Chains A and B, each alone.
Chain A
Amino acid sequence: DIQMTQSPSSMSASLGDTVTINCLASQDIGNYLSWYQQKPGKSPKLMIYGATNLEDGVPSRFSGSRSGSDYSLTINSLGYDDEGIYHCHQYYEYPLTFGSGTKLEIK
């Protein structure tokens, strides 16, 4: 199975800050990487797909990047609505796998 090592597990940032969440794939997954935002009691919401593509309706403050097997989600100009848990996900091959999640708190 492809392991997705996500870091940090939690973070706290201030309004207006820029934060980066990382995911390291245990083997090559190309650009088959997506990012989800999950609010308490809600289902995950697709934010980024294909490692760098912004899903329709997602603010341009969100961006995804890739360097080899390292993938990053960057959020600029943090707002209160960005609070939640962020999950990375590889869909390169079965079994599909997820990172362990990053809990983002806005101070």
Chain B
Amino acid sequence: QVTLKESGTGILQPSQALSLTCSFSGFSLSTTGICVSWIRQPSGKGLEWLADICWDDGKGYNPSLKNRLSISKDTSNNQAFLKITSVDTADTATYYCARRPFITTTLDYWGQGVMVTVSS
């Protein structure tokens, strides 16, 4: 059974760094083709893909967030991480991680999401 669960800082002040962890089970990020993505959704708005990391340590980033994103993984502990630097109120959102079973396939399993609020 595939499950993913996000965790991270709930409330941040502007300019701080946001660190998120995706803990998963039922698959391994060492399996050929597998990727884990991060997606966010401000309240009442659409979905925005942020980044993903694949089995071979290949990474993709959303250029709209420029150099603020950093994605990494700990294969042994079945975790993926996302760091966003210099947050501001526009980063307030629910953050999801999701699996892609192969790099050419879509996001099939999603975590429940973690809400992050940036406020002074």
Chain A positions within 8 Å of B, measured between CB atoms, are: 1, 32, 34, 42-46, 49-50, 55, 87, 89, 91, 94-101
Contact = CB atoms under 8 A, between A and B. Distances in A.
B47 to A, nearest CB: 4
A43 B62 contact: no
A91 B107 contact: yes
B27 interface: no
B36 to A, nearest CB: 13
B70 interface: no
B105 A91 contact: yes
Range of interface residues on B (Cβ < 8 Å): 20 to 34
B60 A43 contact: no
A95 B49 contact: yes
Contact of B107 (A46, A99, A100): A46
Contacts, number: 57
Given A91-B100, A95-B64, A97-B49, A43 B110 contact: yes
Given A44-B47, A91-B104, A101-B46, 7 more contacts: A43-B98, A45-B110, A55-B108, A91-B100, A95-B63, A98-B48, A101-B47
Contacts of A44: 47, 96, 107, 110
A52 B29 CA distance: 28
A46 B108 contact: yes
Given A91-B100, A95-B63, A43 B113 contact: yes
14 contacts: A1-B64, A43-B96, A43-B98, A43-B112, A43-B113, A44-B47, A50-B106, A91-B104, A91-B106, A94-B61, A95-B60, A96-B49, A96-B52, A97-B49
